[in-house]
């Protein structure tokens, strides 16, 4: 399946969902009204609890290429407690040694597509060892592409997901709908036990606000009624989109840009990368960030900041 096929329409810049690799921020002369500047970090919850647990998620568009572009330096400076990676495009045995050696993230778990090391794949890297780690969403017919890892922490489940694209001409839309249903069922099962934090490339722009050209993309993968309705059903089932919960009307906040036409420089993009939380984690949510100044992939990283109690998933006593 061609990657990001929804971006291959004739009006490539209107599709606007892959950045030019190696770009350096916004192009000169772009209208300020079309830019998004990530606001200062909210370090405390409305109830006054200070953030102490950070998870960063990034679709790397090929782990080995991402490493060659120097992205690991930014990861080390960012210092998340957990790093979620999507579209690694490599088997576990092919994970670069530089990634294996990350000092703050020694507990690493990888999933890849069966027999297809250069396709799909996710990774979950943690500062503290999870209580348990599982792979997939419970449907063998959907789990062969290595798209989901679930880690159980003391007080929540952390799910890394790379949701499949519906394909050129929506050829895989029916499969995508089945996948969405299976993911919702998986999250609901987890949520019945503990709160859930889902992070990753969910391959959907839920609102018109979440892509630059909604009218041109009504039947493009990632913005079909079917995919948006499925995401709405997830939210209606007890979950919140952390970014829109905090920033409901903020425009131009995109995480993915096409290679075509200098789209990243003009901020012609889509918001496809999310942190979705169980509603009962709202009180622990400090901030949800789009790190659109960070280069290294056709996506930018996103981060969520939570205030968790001692033993609820964060490192204890500040130890590495």
What span, in angstroms and rounded, lies between the C-alpha atoms of 58 and 98? 17
User: Residue 174 in 3-state DSSP?
Assistant: helix
Hunting for tokens 């099962």 — which residue is that? 189
Is 247 designated active site? no
Hunting for tokens 């949800």 — which residue is that? 288
Hunting for tokens 């370090």 — which residue is that? 43
Full DSSP string of 191-217: HTTS-EEEEEE-----SGGGBS-SGGG
User: With contact defined as beta carbons under 8 Å apart, do 240 and 279 qualify?
Assistant: yes
The strand pair at 285-290 and 302-306 is best described as: antiparallel
What span, in angstroms and rounded, lies between the C-alpha atoms of 272 and 299? 9
Is 36 designated active site? no
User: Residue 261 in 3-state DSSP?
Assistant: helix
Residue 176's nearest CA partner among 115, 119, 254, 228 is 228
Hunting for tokens 């503990």 — which residue is that? 194
Angle at 159 between CA 153 and CA 163, to 5 degrees: 175
Give me the catalytic one of 36, 61, 162, 287. Answer: 162
What span, in angstroms and rounded, lies between the C-alpha atoms of 34 and 297? 21
Give me the catalytic one of 81, 191, 201, 287. Answer: 201
C-alpha distance from residue 132 to each of 38, 44, 120, 158, 203 (Å): 34, 29, 23, 11, 27
User: With contact defined as beta carbons under 8 Å apart, do 198 and 161 qualify?
Assistant: yes
Provide the annotated active-site residues. Answer: 162, 201
């Amino acid at each position: 399946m061609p990657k990001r096929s929804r971006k291959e329409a004739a009006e490539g810049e209107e599709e606007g969902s892959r950045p030019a690799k190696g770009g350096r921020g916004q192009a000169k002369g772009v209208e300020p009204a079309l830019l998004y500047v990530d606001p200062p970090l909210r370090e405390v919850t409305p109830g006054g609890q200070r953030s102490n647990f950070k998870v960063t998620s990034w679709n790397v568009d090929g782990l080995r290429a991402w490493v060659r572009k120097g992205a690991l330096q930014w990861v080390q400076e960012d210092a998340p407690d957990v790093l979620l990676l999507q579209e690694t495009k490599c088997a576990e045995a092919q994970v670069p040694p530089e990634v294996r050696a990350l000092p703050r993230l020694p507990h690493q778990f990888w999933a890849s597509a069966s027999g297809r090391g250069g396709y799909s794949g996710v990774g979950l890297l943690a500062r503290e060892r999870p209580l348990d780690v599982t792979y997939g969403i419970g449907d063998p017919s959907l789990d062969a592409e290595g798209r989901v890892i679930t880690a159980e922490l003391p007080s929540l489940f952390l799910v890394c997901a790379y949701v499949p694209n519906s394909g050129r001409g929506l050829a895989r839309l029916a499969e995508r709908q089945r996948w969405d249903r299976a993911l919702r069922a998986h999250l609901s099962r987890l949520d019945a036990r503990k709160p859930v934090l889902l992070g990753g490339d969910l391959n959907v722009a839920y609102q018109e606000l979440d892509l630059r050209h909604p009218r041109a993309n009504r039947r493009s993968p990632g913005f079909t009624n079917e995919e948006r309705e499925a995401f709405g059903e997830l939210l209606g089932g007890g979950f919140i989109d952390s970014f829109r919960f905090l920033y409901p009307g903020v425009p131009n906040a995109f995480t993915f840009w096409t290679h075509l036409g200098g789209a990243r420089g003009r901020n012609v993009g889509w918001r496809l990368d999310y942190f979705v939380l169980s509603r009962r984690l709202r009180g622990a949510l400090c901030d949800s960030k789009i790190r659109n100044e960070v280069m290294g992939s056709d996506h930018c990283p996103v981060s969520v900041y939570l205030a968790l109690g001692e033993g609820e998933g964060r490192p204890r006593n500040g130890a590495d």
